Each structure stands twice: as structure tokens, then as C-alpha cells.
Amino acid sequence: MTTVFVTHPQDKLDQYFGPRATQALQAVADVRFNLADRDLTTAELIAAACGCDALIAYRQTPGPKLLFQALPELNAFIRCAVDIRSVDIEAANAHGVLVTQASPGYAAAVSEWIIAVMVDLGRGISRYAAAYHRDQPLAPIMGRELRGSSLGVIGFGQIGRYLADLALAFGMRVLVTTPRPIAARDGVRQVPLPVLLAESDFVVCLASANAQTENMMNAQTFAAMKPRTHFVNAARGELVDEWALLQALESGHLAGCALDVGRAPDQMPSSALARHPLVLAAPHIGGLTVPAIEHQALETVSQLSLLLKGVVPPGAVNAAHATRLRRWGHSI
């Protein structure tokens, strides 16, 4: 029977893979698990996964050259996440290992989180609650409604499109900056980034993280926002120059921000920003709902099942180079 190693730490397995996916995986393969409550080092993973035919990799598990070199039985590196930037695809190609990624199943979850923090930023709900917990009530301040406000969405993939639907339902105007043309739609305008920054009351960063977009939110872009704008990052920490964001908050130019990602390990918001009084920080939980997690976990099981049937699954990124799949009857 095919042997699979699941790299999720034990204390993350139930939340980030789940019992349904575990049961489904055990129905098609002999499954080994990471027994530690932490990510394994590459050397530890090599020892633990020795003899395994496939890895189902937690989002924090890298795929370096050494891993593919040291596991000659490994046919597939199946990422239980969308982000595969920490996987050395060239090394996987050289050793004939298939790499797959999951599709994003968290558009609704992340979009709802964004709506929630925009309401909080505009109305100060969590600040009032925290003050009451300290028995030090705050004086009420005038809030901002979503209705009638302008939402600027940087990046317009699945999350951006879903978020636009919710924003329109709240009566917001939606401005979008994205490289490709979008379909015409009432209430939604595609505009250049400077226009979006100058006209939006809430700016939400949902751009893809790559070499071209690193630090795209910097001193210049924050300065281009109209005064008292709120900023939300629910994409990747690498998109934001954190020092520039902190300065924009300290100066009062930004009214506040919400972060579900950052440059601390595992995409967590950094402490310098998270503890700022104008920041709503969450520990990368925008997509942490049962439907969102099960979507990706069950998809990895489906990918493995298809591979065992000789079918290259959706999500495969280097099928033409995955020569080890011949062991599973594939013609490469």
C-alpha cells in the first residue's frame, strides 16, 4: 500500500487538516504523522519520511533540494496550501518529484474577516470592549458606516471578487486595481493604483506576493492615501514595508489598520505593529474556518487518489518533469 507522511505538527493536525481528511487519507494509504508539536527540521523530516511514497506538506514545511535528494522513494510533494514559494521546483524537477498545490477554498472566510475588521475599524468596537474589560469606558467617538464609503481592492482574484460582492451588498463603492481587465459591473470601477489610493476610505491589499509586489505598500503608497484612510492586509506580509506602515499610523495619516499577516514566522503580524493602539492584529486566522480548511485538506487527499489512478490532478505544477510518477503507472 502507498505510504504517505503528513508533516502537520500534532497540535496543528486537527485544526489545519482535520479528522474528515485524515479518515479519507487513511482509506487510500498507509499514513504516518509528524508526532511532534512543532515543524520538523529538514533532517528530521528526511528521517521520519524515509521510505514514503508521498508527503502531504503543512504550509510551513519547506521543500528544499536536500529533501528531494535524500528521499529516493518520494513520488509526490503535495502541499496542503496554495503557497509553494518555499518549494524548490527546479530541484523537484531534477529528481522527478511531482509538486502540487491546493486551490484557495477560503474566499468566503477571508472576505468575511475583512468585512468584520472594516466595521471594527470604522466603529471602534474592539477598543470600546477592551476599555470596558478594564473598567475604563471610553468616551464615544463618531463612527464611519460602510454604506457610502469607498473600498479599494488591490488584487482581484477569488477573494477580491467575493469581497466586492459583500461590499456592494453593504452599499459601498468598489475601486479595483489589478493587471488584467475585469468585467464591467455596476458599482465597481477598475482604476490605476494612484486613483484607488486617493479615493478609497478603506484600502485592502489582496495582491499576489512575488518579487514585483514586495513592499508595494511603502512610504510612497501610504502617503498617496487620503488622510484618515483605513488599511487592511489579508494577503502576505511581504507586500508591506512595516516601518512605513508604522510611520503612517504614528503620524496620524492613517486612521487605523487591520493585519491578518505579517513578517513574523508563519506569516504572523510582527509585534511592533500588532501592539500599536491603532492596529487590529489577528494570528493569520482569516481562512481558519471548517469549510476553508476542509476544502484544502480534502483536496490533497483527492490529488493523491487521482495520482494513484494514473491521473495528474488539478494543482500539479510540474507534471512534465515528474518522472517518478511512472511507478504509479503514469506515462511521463
CATH number of 3-104+290-328: 3.40.50.720
Domains 3-104+290-328 and 107-281 share a fold: yes
pLDDT by residue (tens digit) across 128-153? 999 999 999 999 999 999 999 999 99
| CB neighbour class for 165 (10 Å; exposed up to 12, middle 13-18, buried from 19) | middle
What is the reported pLDDT for 332? 77
What is the reported pLDDT for 231? 98
What is the phi/psi pair of residue 273, to 5°?
-85, -40
Q: CB count, 10 Å around CB of 229?
A: 23
Q: In sequence order, what DSSP letters do the residues of 52-73 get, joined into one string?
A: -SEEEE-TT--B-HHHHHH-TT
pLDDT by residue (tens digit) across 169-225? 999 999 999 999 998 889 999 999 999 999 999 999 999 988 899 999 999 999 999
What are the CA-CA distances from residue 6 to residues 130, 268, 282, 301, 323 (Å)? 40, 23, 26, 11, 22
Spatial contact of 244 and 223, defined as CB atoms under 8 Å apart = no
Q: Residue 282: which pLDDT band, with cuts at 50, 70 and 90?
A: very high
C-alpha 199 chain-centroid distance: 27
pTM assigned to the model: 0.91
pLDDT by residue (tens digit) across 217-258? 999 999 999 999 999 999 999 999 999 999 999 999 999 999
User: What architecture (CATH level 2) is domain 107-281?
Assistant: 3-Layer(aba) Sandwich (3.40)
Bridge-based pairing of strands 279-281 and 173-177 is: unpaired
C-alpha–C-alpha distance, residues 34 and 9, integer Å: 6
Residue 298 has pLDDT above 90, yes or no: yes
What is the reported pLDDT for 183? 87
Q: Where are the domains of the chain?
A: 3-104+290-328, 107-281
